[in-house]
């Protein structure tokens, strides 16, 4: 009877082990972002961050110094023509930066974020955003252009 209980408990716990294996996060890149910015509806300060792929379309941005993090939903597309260097693409509305895309150069994945409440509010004010890019390897801002 005791062996049956142990076998039954093992059968019940097996799906939990499989679920845990699926949830493991994978670090995609590490980046220094030189300005405060918004990710969907979360305001983040300038600093060093690590981007993780969590559950496929749910990614995590974690501050390596401050310990804070935020989860966000992405819309991935595979683009074979992407450069080998990873970069983050922000929309800049006067003084506000909003994370818009992540080009993960190693796997050729381009992840687009949906506009959050703050970005929709900025767009209602007829703001014309500029595009600001931050290189994931160096943390340097590599460009700015009108969208």
pLDDT digit string, tens, across residues 13-64: 555 444 444 456 677 788 899 999 999 888 999 989 988 887 667 888 888 7
- Please enumerate, as own/partner, the contacts of 66-71 that have beta carbons within 8 Å and a separation of 24 or more: 68/44, 70/39, 70/40, 70/42, 70/44
pLDDT digit string, tens, across residues 110-122: 888 988 888 888 8
What pLDDT was estimated at residue 68? 76
Contacts of 81 (CB under 8 A, 6+ apart): none
Instruction: Determine the 3-state secondary structure of 1 from DSSP.
Output: coil
Q: The pTM is what?
A: 0.71
């Amino acid at each position: 009877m005791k062996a049956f209980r142990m076998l039954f408990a093992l059968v019940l716990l097996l799906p939990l082990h499989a679920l845990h294996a699926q949830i493991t996060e994978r670090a995609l890149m590490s980046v220094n972002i030189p300005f405060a910015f918004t990710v969907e509806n979360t305001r983040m300060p300038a600093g060093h961050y690590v981007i993780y792929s969590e559950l496929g379309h749910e990614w995590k941005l974690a501050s390596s110094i401050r310990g804070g993090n935020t989860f966000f939903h992405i819309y991935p597309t595979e683009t074979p023509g992407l450069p080998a260097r990873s970069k983050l693409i922000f929309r800049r509305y006067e003084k506000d930066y909003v994370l818009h895309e992540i080009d993960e150069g190693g796997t050729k994945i381009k992840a687009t974020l949906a506009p959050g409440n703050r970005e929709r509010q900025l767009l209602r004010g007829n703001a014309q955003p500029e595009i600001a890019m931050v290189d994931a390897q160096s943390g340097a801002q590599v460009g700015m252009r009108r969208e």
